[in-house]
Amino acid sequence: MLHSMTGFAAGQGGFDGWTWTWDMRAVNGRGLDIRLRMPDWIDGLESAARAQVQKSVSRGNVTLSLRLTRHGEIVAARIDAAVLDRVLAQIAEIESAAMAHGVNIVAPSATDILNQRGIVDTSGNNGDTGNTAALAAALIRDLTGVIAGFNAMRGAEGRALQGILTAQLDQIEILNKEAKVLCAARADQMRAALRDALARVMDNTEGADPDRVAQELAIVAVKTDITEELDRLTAHVTAARDLLDHAGPVGRKLDFLMQEFNREANTLCSKAQNIELTRVGLALKSSIDQMREQVQNVE
């Protein structure tokens, strides 16, 4: 079953006077990028949370946020001025070195800077953290349910994607069959055109070697043949259907396969030399492009 890379889930829980809200969301990405926003004073929480996400998600830009409250008060957040100064100094140093080498870099946003570890201190409890190991265990137990809900949403979107992609493959297959029919009909026209071309060359050229001229025309015929492209398109459709039925992440493989689809359609259009075949080739390119856009959402 396919999974979409986009998804959202939230969950709430409590333990020993603490209450919390988990927020998990993801958007498309080339690989797996996990960004965690949670207190760093709870020992082992970040590494355990990251491990849980990595076991359940293989691709996408995932953001996992935790909002903690104790005895009805939101845990205060403050900026560690010393850490902030150090980070800003390092950024200035990097920018200066880049300019010295003639390299322009994009200045980080305030959000990028705040996401650096240690700048924001969310302990806010004057060092009275209590039993953080027990709190971390309770949070991770609750996170398991949040991740399950997150994957359920991605699975539902994946099923919808599978239906869309299957319909698009059906359309590509129909167009490919139409191209094969047109290709067969074009064969007689191509043979007649080559015979006429050979006759014109021989009538207007003295001393031309008939065998050499015929050989050159045969090369032209081979270069305009699209049988192999249509056969490869058929094979690509079969491969794509197999991937859609595969259990596990297949987004990267589908993305590569779409490049192969597009290559065959481009070659078909360049070799068509026939209005109807060109029309079918352009329709194929349009369907393939639409399918490629949907594939970008697949994990």
Is residue 29 a part of any domain in this protein? yes
Is residue 243 a part of any domain in this protein? yes
Is residue 42 a part of any domain in this protein? yes
Work out the average pLDDT over 80-94.
Answer: 85
Query: 50-64, 165-179, 221-235: which has the minimum mean pLDDT?
Result: 221-235
Q: Which among 67-76, 77-86, 191-200, 219-228 has the top mean pLDDT?
A: 77-86
pLDDT at 56: 93
pLDDT at 86: 87
**In total, how many domains does the chain have?**
3
Q: Are residues 65 and 177 in the same domain?
A: no
pLDDT tens digits for range 101-146: 888 888 887 767 766 766 766 554 444 455 689 999 999 999 999 9
Check pLDDT > 70 for residue 7. Answer: yes
pLDDT band at 271 (very low <50, low <70, confident <90, very high): confident
Mean pLDDT over each residue of the chain, to the nearest integer:
85
Is residue 97 a part of any domain in this protein? yes
Q: Are residues 168 and 50 in the same domain?
A: no
Check pLDDT > 60 for residue 55. Answer: yes
Q: Are residues 141 and 267 in the same domain?
A: no
pLDDT at 264: 95
Q: Are residues 113 and 169 in the same domain?
A: no
pLDDT at 98: 82
Q: Domain of residue 195: give its range.
A: 159-295
3-class SS string, the chain = CCCECCEEEEEEEEECCEEEEEEEEEECCCCEEEEEECCCCCCCHHHHHHHHHHHHCCCEEEEEEEEEEECCEECCCEECHHHHHHHHHHHHHHHHHHHHCCCCCCCCCHHHHHCCCCCEECCCCCCCCCCHHHHHHHHHHHHHHHHHHHHHHHHHHHHHHHHHHHHHHHHHHHHHHHHHHHHHHHHHHHHHHHHHHHHHHHHHCCCCCHHHHHHHHHHHHHHCCCHHHHHHHHHHHHHHHHHHCCCCCCHHHHHHHHHHHHHHHHHHHHHCCCHHHHHHHHHHHHHHHHHHHHHCCEC
pLDDT tens digits for range 280-294: 999 999 999 999 999
Q: Which among 83-92, 161-170, 226-235 has the top mean pLDDT?
A: 161-170
Is residue 2 a part of any domain in this protein? no
pLDDT at 191: 63
